[in-house]
Amino acid sequence: MSRQAVLRIQLPMAKILLVEDNEMNRDMLSRRLERRGYEVVIAVDGQQGVDLAQSAAPDLILMDMSLPVIDGWEATRQLKSMDRMKAVPIIALTAHAMSGDREKALEAGCNDYDTKPIELPRLLGKIEALLGSKPPA
Ligand code: MN
């Protein structure tokens, strides 16, 4: 097989579940992630996030912490208590770099933490680090 043929093989796209209630943030971030080659599924509240995490089998979850129905802290705790969801990395997103929020996110079971406004290169670095062998196409 030629080198060019090898380079043309497409890797499977990593699927990211974005749990975010703010429509503007949600649209902007999902568009930018899709442009990078990620498949994005969206939940608009914490309960929908927990449900979709189980049915859509994402490779990684971006979890806003301030959410209706159940908040991101509780959604994360629920997911991390499920054997089949434990291994799915969760990155917490919070609006304020409040002191203690990072510790609180890690305590709830989040694998990493980032603050809004989102700086995409920084967030992509964290996503790629957690996805390891599953890059975008
Ligand atoms: Mn929110």
Cα of 76 vs centre of ligand 1, distance in Å, is: 14
pLDDT recorded at residue 102: 83
pLDDT, tens digit, 9 for 90 and up, residues 3-22:
555 555 556 689 999 999 99
Which residues have CB less than 5 Å away from ligand 1 (the ion)? 21, 64, 66
pLDDT recorded at residue 105: 87
Q: How confident is the model at residue 134 (pLDDT cuts 50, 70, 90)?
A: low
Cα of 118 vs centre of ligand 1, distance in Å, is: 13
| Sequence-ordered list of residues with C-beta below 8 angstroms from that of 133, at least 6 positions apart, any chain | none
Which domains, from first to last, does the chain contain?
12-131 (3.40.50.2300)
Helical ranges in 1-137 per DSSP H: 3-8, 23-35, 46-56, 72-80, 101-108, 120-131
Cα of 73 vs centre of ligand 1, distance in Å, is: 12
